[in-house]
């Protein structure tokens, strides 16, 4: 039984997860293990005058307390931003220095000051409480737009005015001229709320130093272990790459937050060498809220001009992006090249211009979180479209259709060239699946029950699989964004795939095996996927940005091509046929049109016995490949949300949610649907429930699941899904990527539905009952009516 | 330190532990049953749900020393040898898990909910399942397929004798 491309194959990895046998980092216990806890900055901004660890060191079980200056003296490097952005005046970006443990100033609540190593976790945590930090509290700034105000507290001395860069994209003069001639201009102030990614598995690290070999091993919760090793080696100077093995075992979700290499991993590795003990640290959830990179946090003024037939003539964007206290790994590219390049949405917009000012504040670093820049762009554009339709008294779907791009490839005004799509078809499918025609009836029925029912659209496009490497390099990227794969056919015909992509919920052990099954007719149970270990896998860039399919699987396909070519050479020699006449079907290599054939396992065995190979052919059947795409891939979709609002309480219920997506070729529909369910739920979470709140002094108010509202099962409905496929021409399988689409597309659909229900657009996310009730009360008040 | 004896997955286990030891730590660190996960520190996420004397309990809210003599079933004790519990099978059949971290708690909660509704004779509707899952957070699946899995397992468990797995 084979499960090829398109099969709803059940996941091979599930057995260990459903029986409690998964192996996550915190499940690992090594020889000689001690535990770490961190002393953290208790205020948002402080000068550290001294650290007294004497009381802590005297406590039972405490092995060591180490501080920032010690790491610095040992040559441990500062954390880096992986993408250099140039300001519009041509000057390079200015970012503050981020030391793994602070050396002089603490710049957010949770900034790591010292590492405590003890025999047990409880002892380490108790001792961390006993380390006395002599600090002087300094003024702090928390909110993005306030960071730019005259007289705002300065987060870093070398970043005047807290301004990291002022980036621009598009043609300002043309956009201004077109805007001036527009017959209608829609203006909107938009806040994209700050979120905490909240993978359910907290971050964890186990650092093992082997003195005899001068070698380090790090088990860690990473989406990209090779990138972690590269950065830990080349920039943080922990150990050269050949002396450092990074293993990311089962990882319990990432959503971006586990891309980055955090201070804790650096400190644990260094402390392991210093103490001669293996050092384990596992974050508590409260610590995760304080220290895991947050997402989003934009404040935007947007303006869209239309002609008298509803065609967009100009789009103008002015955004301030809060990057927090330090510029994290992908932080600088997220609100620029992952955001501005999507300003055209699904629409043919002839003139676009925007600026993004990125700022430091005294909050935890903000970086890429599921969607990364693309949700912010989509939310802005799709709110604009809905508001514009209402202002111009047009049907919001019709306004979108009037502006849809219909010819591909399409060169936008903001760098990207869209590969393929059929926006009319996906909107048709969504409208049909959502029974838009029946909405007036449903609205009337809800009204009879005292509920306000609304319907909102979001027609989005996004860009996945950042590429090509040369292009991203020219835009400031510090790494290439290709992927690698190795296909090893064993002498018995079973297959191992080594991939640089990393699975932390995406189901690679099943879907990558489906590629092999499809090609050679091998059952997926005979295919093993190896990933997440720098000693086993050659190299790789990891999993984020929906890249495992379009980039990672493409590398596998290239390697499979090479294996197939060699297998055919061997079979042709044995069968005395021409390679061109061979076909591989159902686990057999056949001479087309004859009964001559070899079993797949016979070809594999022949490759390894090497008794009868074509002259000059090397034994073995193993090939590697690197794949660097020629362009991004561009998934798109049409989402339709229906809500009911209780006008008495402001409580919003999502009663129906429909998603019709174009992900190109689909390898496993079951898994793709699961990605959409999860993504949409995170989008609904952003729209209705989630917001990170710091108080004015920079203390985190939403530091637990009692304060930060995660979507629960009864906050969301069952989903209605459909899809329409236009394969991407940019990779061999025609894949577009599906991991982020839901989180990108859903928030505006929800807010458009609520604002439709309550009859006012004066509403920001999250649309909590209080926010909705207030918007409704204000809209209905006599003051607003004036 | 206090001596505590529990029957865990059918096997008597005795350990001397500090009085502050949570059941989740007892299972994970003393017995090395690491299928019980800890996803928060405020008893909200439900990744640590186990069964104590036949009832679903968040293992991070219970002190080990308070459970002397208790019968505990963890995710590792749900299958009958190699034969998975219908709830485990249903999670695989319906793609009710992605990263797998919340899954043990979801399965333990799911089994408990189905058994309770079965005993009470109340219908386990989608609305009821979603309400019952309020104490279990999943960040990956959006709950859609978890609900499908529990619906399916409930049907299959309806046919089976009550509490077969306990």
CATH code (residue A283) = 3.90.1170.50
The alpha-carbon gap from A731 to the nearest alpha carbon of chain B, in Å, equals: 26
- In chain A, what residues touch B35 (CB-CB under 8 Å)? 19-22
| Interatomic CA distance for residues A633 and A735, integer angstroms | 7
- In chain A, what residues touch B28 (CB-CB under 8 Å)? 27
Per-residue pLDDT for A693 more than 70? yes
Q: What average pLDDT score do residues A73-81 get?
A: 97
- The pLDDT value recorded for residue A477 is 86
Distance in Å from the first CA to the final CA of chain B: 30
Q: What average pLDDT score do residues A98-123 get?
A: 97
- The pLDDT value recorded for residue A581 is 96
Per-residue pLDDT for A3 more than 50? yes
Alpha helices in A131-168 (DSSP H): 144-147
Residue of chain B nearest A720, judged by CA positions: B144
Angle at A110 between CA A104 and CA A116, to 5 degrees: 75
Residue with tokens 């394969």: A727
Residue of B82, B140, B145 best to disrupt the A interface, most CBs of A under 10 A: B140
Phi, psi of A526, deg, nearest 5: -95, 10
Bridge partner residues of A233 (DSSP): none
CB-nearest to B145 from A24, A506, A677 is A677
CATH number at residue A658: 3.30.365.10
The alpha-carbon gap from A5 to the nearest alpha carbon of chain B, in Å, equals: 18
Looking at the structure, tell me whether residues A762 and A668 fall in a common domain: yes
Looking at the structure, tell me whether residues A436 and A500 fall in a common domain: no
CB-nearest to A18 from B18, B38, B97 is B97
Looking at the structure, tell me whether residues A287 and A242 fall in a common domain: yes
- The pLDDT value recorded for residue A557 is 96
| Interatomic CA distance for residues A461 and A467, integer angstroms | 17
**Helix axes A263-275 and A225-234, enclosed angle (nearest 10):** 60
The structure's pTM equals 0.97
Give me Rg for the CA atoms of chain A: 27
CB contact under 8 A, A199 and B99: yes
Q: How many CB atoms lie within 10 A of CB A393?
A: 6
CB contact under 8 A, A714 and B42: no
Residue of chain B nearest A502, judged by CA positions: B99
Bridge partner residues of A48 (DSSP): A135
The alpha-carbon gap from B135 to the nearest alpha carbon of chain A, in Å, equals: 8
What CATH architecture does domain B2-77 belong to? Roll (3.10)
Query: What is residue A375's three-state secondary structure?
Result: helix
CB contact under 8 A, B100 and A719: no
- The pLDDT value recorded for residue A546 is 85
Using an 8 Å Cβ cutoff, are A613 and A570 in contact? yes
What's the domain count of chain A? Answer: 3
CB contact under 8 A, B47 and A200: yes
The alpha-carbon gap from A225 to the nearest alpha carbon of chain B, in Å, equals: 17
CB-nearest to A198 from B100, B130, B139 is B139
Domain membership flag for residue A283: yes
CB-nearest to A250 from B39, B78, B100 is B100
Boundary of a domain, candidates A627, A644, A672: A627
| Nearest in space to A13 (alpha carbons), one of A742, A527, A678 | A527
- The pLDDT value recorded for residue A785 is 58
Tell me how far the alpha carbon of residue A273 is from its chain's centroid. Answer: 32
Q: Where in chain B is the domain with CATH 3.10.20.30?
A: 2-77
CB contact under 8 A, A719 and B142: yes
| Interatomic CA distance for residues A661 and A518, integer angstroms | 24
| Interatomic CA distance for residues A785 and A771, integer angstroms | 19
Residue of chain A nearest B92, judged by CA positions: A14
Residue of chain A nearest B135, judged by CA positions: A712
DSSP state of A347: B
CB contact under 8 A, A713 and B141: no
Query: What is residue A487's three-state secondary structure?
Result: strand
| Nearest in space to A194 (alpha carbons), one of A363, A447, A50 | A363
CB contact under 8 A, B133 and A716: no
Per-residue pLDDT for A162 more than 80? yes
Using an 8 Å Cβ cutoff, are A760 and A744 in contact? no
Looking at the structure, tell me whether residues A597 and A569 fall in a common domain: yes
- Burial label for A626, CB within 10 Å (0-12, 13-18, 19+), is middle
Looking at the structure, tell me whether residues A389 and A490 fall in a common domain: no
Boundary of a domain, candidates A580, A595, A627: A627
CB-nearest to B140 from A19, A26, A678 is A678
Structural domain boundaries enclosing A223: 31-138+201-252+258-291
CB contact under 8 A, A198 and B75: no
CB contact under 8 A, A200 and B146: no
Superfamily of domain B86-159: [2Fe-2S]-binding domain (1.10.150.120)
| Interatomic CA distance for residues A460 and A345, integer angstroms | 6
The alpha-carbon gap from B137 to the nearest alpha carbon of chain A, in Å, equals: 6
CB contact under 8 A, B84 and A742: no
CB-nearest to B141 from A16, A504, A677 is A677
Q: What average pLDDT score do residues A396-403 get?
A: 98
pLDDT in tens, A599-656: 999 999 999 999 999 999 999 999 999 999 999 999 999 999 999 999 999 999 999 9
Domain membership flag for residue A640: yes
How far, in Å, are A378, A462, A523, A637 from residue A421 at the CA level?
Answer: 17, 11, 33, 9
- The pLDDT value recorded for residue A545 is 86
CB contact under 8 A, B141 and A678: yes
Which residues of chain B fall below pLDDT 50? 164-166
Looking at the structure, tell me whether residues A598 and A660 fall in a common domain: no
Q: Which residue has the higher pLDDT, B158 or A663?
A: A663
Q: Which of A234-238, A477-481, A491-495 comes out lowest in average pLDDT? A: A477-481
| Interatomic CA distance for residues A600 and A517, integer angstroms | 12
Per-residue pLDDT for A474 more than 90? no
* Helix (H) or strand (E) run with residue A215 in it: strand A215-220
| Nearest in space to A394 (alpha carbons), one of A553, A201, A184 | A184
The alpha-carbon gap from B101 to the nearest alpha carbon of chain A, in Å, equals: 5
Per-residue pLDDT for A783 more than 80? no
| Interatomic CA distance for residues B103 and B109, integer angstroms | 10
Per-residue b/e over A547-578, b at no fewer than 16 CB within 10 Å? bbbbbbbbbbbbbbeebbebbbbbbbbbbebe
Angle at A431 between CA A428 and CA A436, to 5 degrees: 145
ipTM: 0.97
Q: How many CB atoms lie within 10 A of CB A525?
A: 12
Looking at the structure, tell me whether residues A522 and A398 fall in a common domain: no
Looking at the structure, tell me whether residues A623 and A637 fall in a common domain: no
Using an 8 Å Cβ cutoff, are A529 and A509 in contact? yes
| Nearest in space to A258 (alpha carbons), one of A302, A299, A234, A223 | A223
Phi, psi of A312, deg, nearest 5: -70, 130
Band of pLDDT at residue A784, cut at 50, 70 and 90: low
Looking at the structure, tell me whether residues A717 and A742 fall in a common domain: yes
Residue of chain A nearest B88, judged by CA positions: A18
Q: How many CB atoms lie within 10 A of CB A244?
A: 20
CB contact under 8 A, A704 and B101: no
CB contact under 8 A, A677 and B41: no
CB contact under 8 A, A18 and B142: no
CB-nearest to B39 from A14, A201, A742 is A201
Domain membership flag for residue A195: no
Per-residue b/e over A709-732, b at no fewer than 16 CB within 10 Å? bbbbbbbbbebebbbbbbbbebbb
Using an 8 Å Cβ cutoff, are A607 and A571 in contact? no
In this complex, is the C-beta atom of B35 within 8 Å of any C-beta atom belonging to chain A?
yes
The alpha-carbon gap from B118 to the nearest alpha carbon of chain A, in Å, equals: 21
Per-residue pLDDT for A509 more than 60? yes
- In chain A, what residues touch B129 (CB-CB under 8 Å)? 713
Looking at the structure, tell me whether residues A271 and A399 fall in a common domain: no
| Nearest in space to B25 (alpha carbons), one of B47, B4, B48, B43 | B48
- Please report the DSSP string for A510-548 in residue order: HHHHHHHHHHH---GGGEEEE-SBTTTS-----S-TT-I
Q: Where in chain B is the domain with CATH 1.10.150.120?
A: 86-159
- The pLDDT value recorded for residue A579 is 95
CB-nearest to A14 from B35, B37, B97 is B97
Domain membership flag for residue A12: no
CB-nearest to B103 from A18, A681, A711 is A18
Residues 59-118 on B with a CB inside 8 Å of A are 74-76, 78-79, 84, 88, 91-93, 95, 97-104, 107
Q: How many CB atoms lie within 10 A of CB A622?
A: 19
Query: What is residue A35's three-state secondary structure?
Result: strand
- The pLDDT value recorded for residue B161 is 61
The torsion angle over the Cα atoms of residues B137, B139, B144 and B148, rounded to 10 degrees, is -60
Boundary of a domain, candidates A627, A651, A682: A627
Looking at the structure, tell me whether residues A552 and A696 fall in a common domain: no
- The pLDDT value recorded for residue A472 is 87
Looking at the structure, tell me whether residues A443 and A530 fall in a common domain: no
- The pLDDT value recorded for residue B165 is 44
Establish, for the pair of chains A and B, how many residue pairs have beta carbons separated by less than 8 Å. 179
């Amino acid at each position: 039984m084979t499960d090829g491309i398109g099969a709803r194959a059940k996941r091979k990895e599930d057995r260990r997860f459903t029986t409690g046998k998964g192996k996550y980092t915190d499940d690992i216990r090594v020889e000689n293990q001690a535990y770490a806890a961190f002393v953290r900055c208790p205020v948002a901004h402080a000068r550290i005058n001294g650290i007294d660890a004497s009381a802590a060191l005297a406590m039972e079980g405490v092995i060591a307390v180490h501080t920032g200056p010690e790491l610095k003296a040992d040559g441990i490097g500062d954390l880096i931003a992986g993408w250099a952005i140039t300001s519009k005046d041509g000057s390079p970006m200015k970012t503050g220095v981020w030391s793994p443990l602070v050396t002089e100033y603490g710049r957010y609540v949770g900034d790591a000051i010292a590492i405590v190593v003890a025999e047990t976790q409880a002892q380490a945590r108790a001792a961390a409480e006993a380390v006395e930090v002599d600090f002087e509290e300094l003024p702090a700034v928390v909110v993005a737009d306030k960071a730019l105000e005259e007289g705002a507290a300065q987060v870093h001395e070398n970043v005047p005015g807290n301004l990291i860069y002022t980036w621009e994209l598009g043609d300002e003069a043309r956009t201004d001229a077109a805007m001036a001639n527009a017959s209608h201009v829609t203006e909107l102030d938009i806040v994209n709320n700050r979120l905490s990614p909240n993978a359910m598995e907290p971050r964890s690290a186990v650092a093992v130093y082997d003195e005899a070999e001068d070698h380090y091993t790090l088990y860690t919760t990473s989406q990209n272990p090779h990138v972690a090793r590269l950065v830990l080696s080349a920039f943080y100077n922990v150990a050269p790459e050949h002396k450092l093995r990074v293993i990311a075992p089962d990882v319990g979700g990432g959503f971006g937050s586990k891309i980055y290499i955090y201070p804790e991993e650096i400190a644990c590795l260094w402390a392991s060498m210093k103490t001669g003990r293996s050092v384990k640290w596992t974050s508590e959830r409260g610590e995760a809220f304080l220290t895991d990179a947050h997402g989003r946090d934009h404040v935007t003024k947007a303006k869209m001009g239309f002609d008298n037939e509803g065609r967009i003539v100009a789009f103008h964007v002015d955004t301030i992006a809060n990057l927090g206290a330090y510029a994290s790994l992908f932080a600088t590219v997220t609100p620029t090249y992952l955001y501005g390049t999507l300003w055209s949405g699904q629409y043919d917009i002839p003139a676009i211009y925007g600026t993004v000012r990125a700022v430091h504040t005294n909050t935890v670093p903000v970086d890429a979180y599921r969607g990364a820049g693309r949700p912010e762009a989509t939310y802005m554009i799709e709110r604009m479209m809905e508001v514009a339709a209402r202002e111009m008294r047009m049907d919001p779907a019709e306004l979108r259709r009037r502006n849809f791009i219909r010819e591909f490839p399409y060169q936008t005004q903001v760098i990207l060239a869209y590969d393929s799509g059929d926006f009319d078809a996906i909107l048709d499918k969504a409208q049909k699946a959502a029974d838009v025609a029946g909405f007036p009836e449903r609205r009337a029925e809800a009204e009879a029950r005292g509920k306000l029912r609304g319907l909102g659209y979001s027609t989005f496009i996004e860009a996945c699989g950042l590429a090509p490497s040369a292009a991203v390099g020219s835009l400031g990227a510090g790494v290439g964004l290709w992927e690698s794969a190795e296909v090893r056919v064993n002498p018995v015909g079973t297959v191992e795939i080594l991939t640089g992509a990393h699975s932390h919920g995406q189901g690679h052990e099943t879907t990558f095996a489906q590629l092999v099954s499809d090609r050679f007719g091998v059952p997926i149970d005979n295919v093993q996927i190896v990933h997440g270990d720098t000693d086993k896998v050659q190299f790789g860039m990891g999993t984020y940005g929906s890249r495992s399919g379009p980039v990672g699987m493409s590398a596998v396909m290239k390697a499979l091509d090479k294996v197939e070519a060699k297998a055919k050479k061997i079979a042709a020699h044995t069968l005395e046929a021409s390679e061109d006449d061979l076909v591989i079907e159902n686990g057999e290599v056949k001479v087309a049109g004859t009964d001559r054939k070899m079993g797949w396992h016979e070809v594999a065995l022949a490759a390894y016995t090497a008794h009868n190979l074509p002259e000059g052919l090397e034994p073995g059947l193993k090939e590697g490949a690197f794949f660097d795409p020629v362009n991004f891939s561009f998934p798109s979709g049409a989402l339709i949300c229906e809500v009911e609002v209780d006008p008495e309480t402001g409580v919003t219920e999502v009663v129906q949610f429909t998603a019709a997506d174009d992900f190109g070729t689909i390898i496993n529909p079951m898994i793709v649907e699961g990605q959409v369910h999860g993504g949409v739920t995170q989008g609904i979470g952003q729209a209705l429930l989630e917001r990170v709140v710091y108080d004015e002094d920079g203390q985190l108010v939403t530091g637990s699941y009692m304060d930060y509202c995660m979507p629960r099962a009864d906050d969301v409905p069952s989903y209605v899904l459909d899809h329409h496929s236009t394969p991407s021409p940019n990779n061999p399988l025609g894949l577009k990527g599906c991991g982020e689409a839901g989180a990108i597309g859903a928030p505006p659909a929800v807010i458009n539905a609520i604002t439709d229900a309550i009859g006012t657009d004066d509403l920001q996310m999250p649309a909590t009952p209080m926010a909705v009730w207030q918007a409704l009360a204000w809209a209905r008040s006599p003051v607003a009516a004036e | 330190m206090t001596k505590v004896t529990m029957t865990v997955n059918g096997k008597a286990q005795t350990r001397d532990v500090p009085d502050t030891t949570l059941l989740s730590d007892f299972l994970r660190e003393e017995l090395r049953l690491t299928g019980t996960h800890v996803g928060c520190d405020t008893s909200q996420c439900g990744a640590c749900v186990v069964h104590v004397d036949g009832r679903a309990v968040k293992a991070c809210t219970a002190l080990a020393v308070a459970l002397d003599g208790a019968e505990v079933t963890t995710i590792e004790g749900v299958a009958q040898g190699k034969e998975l519990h219908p709830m485990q099978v249903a999670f695989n059949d319906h793609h009710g898990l992605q990263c797998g971290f919340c899954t043990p708690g979801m399965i333990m909660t799911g089994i408990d909910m189905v058994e309770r509704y079965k005993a009470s004779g109340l219908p386990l509707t989608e609305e009821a399942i979603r309400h019952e899952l309020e104490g279990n957070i999943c960040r990956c699946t959006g709950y859609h397929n978890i609900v499908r899995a529990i619906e399916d397992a409930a049907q299959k468990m309806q046919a089976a004798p009550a509490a077969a797995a306990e």
